[in-house]
């Protein structure tokens, strides 16, 4: 059992996804008992076993689907009559909990200016693993922007070879101008990520996007970029701008709407008064 948990920890460190399948209930004659575990990868590879045979094959398919959807599921099987579709003849019943295990969310801040510095602080406070990238070493170190887990004083074009991007990577680019966006964004469009956002006005992004399209970057890829990034808070200070950006990221993480939660109705208690 220890090797399964060690393997899960290794997958998390490497930024990989997998599904943990655990037998949570069994009755009668079954191939494995409650507590048996198996790891399933997105390509269907399995580590460990919960009983083998057709039943395990079905669980693997369910695990791959759960990884795609991101939602855990509970599956039940009777192992009695294959002619009625049962995946076995042992005579018992099993329930297996399938839990997608995603990498820990990472925030990659590209641009170590005042907004980038605020994003490092807020991202870490919100529980992200934070990496700061800037080609200026004086803006990419713990003294200037304390709290990051990793400092990458390299050009944006080198970032894909220096940082392990994964499906839960949120990339924010508080860069210092259109030339950096035009040079940097194309290197990030195809790395695994959950979010890619660029700071600035609509006019700035329109200018950068046009230049990238003229150089051959497909418009459909640029359409997935959040630019300008953030929610409309009329933010002004670096800290307020960072709050706007992280609010959008949390909204997308939690499938929120960004709308005000103020309720304009009258409570029943107030009506009685």
Quick one: 112 and 247 in the same domain? Answer: yes
**Residue 140: enclosing H or E segment and its boundaries?**
none
For the chain, the average pLDDT equals 92
Quick one: 164 and 243 in the same domain? Answer: yes
Task: Give mean pLDDT, residues 151-155.
Answer: 97
Quick one: 52 and 176 in the same domain? Answer: no
Residue range 94-144, pLDDT digits in tens: 899 999 998 899 999 999 999 999 999 999 999 999 999 999 999 999 999
Quick one: 221 and 237 in the same domain? Answer: yes
Residue 88 has pLDDT above 70, yes or no: no
Supply the pLDDT for residue 22.
96
- Predicted confidence band of residue 1 (pLDDT cuts 50, 70, 90): very low
Task: Give mean pLDDT, residues 227-240.
Answer: 97
pTM: 0.82
Q: Determine, yes or no, domain membership for 212.
A: yes
Beta-bridge partners for 151: 132
The closest of 151, 45, 67, 48 to 108, measured between CA atoms, is: 151
Supply the pLDDT for residue 54.
85
207 — phi, psi (to 5°)?
-65, -45
Residue 137 CA to residue 135 CA, distance in Å, equals: 6
Q: Which of these three, 101, 121, 142, is where a domain ends?
A: 101
Quick one: 71 and 195 in the same domain? Answer: no
Q: Determine, yes or no, domain membership for 123.
A: yes
Least confident range of 10-19, 173-182, 233-242: 10-19
Quick one: 71 and 13 in the same domain? Answer: yes
Quick one: 122 and 45 in the same domain? Answer: no
Residue 263 CA to residue 273 CA, distance in Å, equals: 19
Domain ranges, residue 67:
2-101
């Amino acid at each position: 059992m220890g090797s399964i948990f060690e393997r899960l920890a290794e997958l998390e460190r490497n930024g990989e996804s997998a599904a943990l399948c655990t037998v949570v209930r069994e009755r009668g004659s079954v191939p494995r008992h409650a507590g048996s575990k198996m790891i399933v990868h997105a390509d269907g590879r399995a580590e460990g076993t919960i009983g083998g045979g057709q039943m395990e094959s079905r669980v693997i398919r369910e695990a791959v689907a759960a990884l795609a959807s991101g939602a855990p599921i509970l599956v039940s099987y009777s192992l009695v009559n294959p002619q009625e579709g049962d995946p076995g003849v042992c005579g018992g019943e099993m329930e297996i909990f399938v839990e997608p295990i995603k990498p820990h969310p990472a925030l990659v801040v590209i641009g170590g200016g005042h907004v980038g510095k605020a994003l490092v602080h807020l991202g870490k406070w919100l529980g992200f693993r934070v990496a700061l990238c800037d080609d200026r070493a004086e803006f990419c170190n713990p003294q200037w922007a304390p709290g990051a887990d990793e400092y990458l004083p390299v050009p944006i074009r080198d970032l894909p070879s220096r940082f392990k991007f994964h499906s839960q990577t949120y990339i924010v680019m508080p860069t210092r101008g259109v030339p950096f966006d035009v040079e940097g964004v194309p290197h990030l469009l195809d790395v695994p990520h959950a979010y890619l956002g660029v700071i600035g006005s609509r006019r700035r992004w329109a200018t950068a996007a046009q230049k990238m399209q003229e150089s051959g970057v497909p418009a459909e890829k640029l359409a997935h970029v959040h630019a300008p990034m953030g929610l409309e808070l009329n933010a002004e200070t670096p800290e307020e701008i960072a709050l706007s950006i992280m609010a959008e990221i949390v909204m997308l993480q939690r499938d929120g709407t960004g709308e005000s939660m103020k309720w304009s109705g009258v409570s029943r208690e107030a009506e009685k008064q």
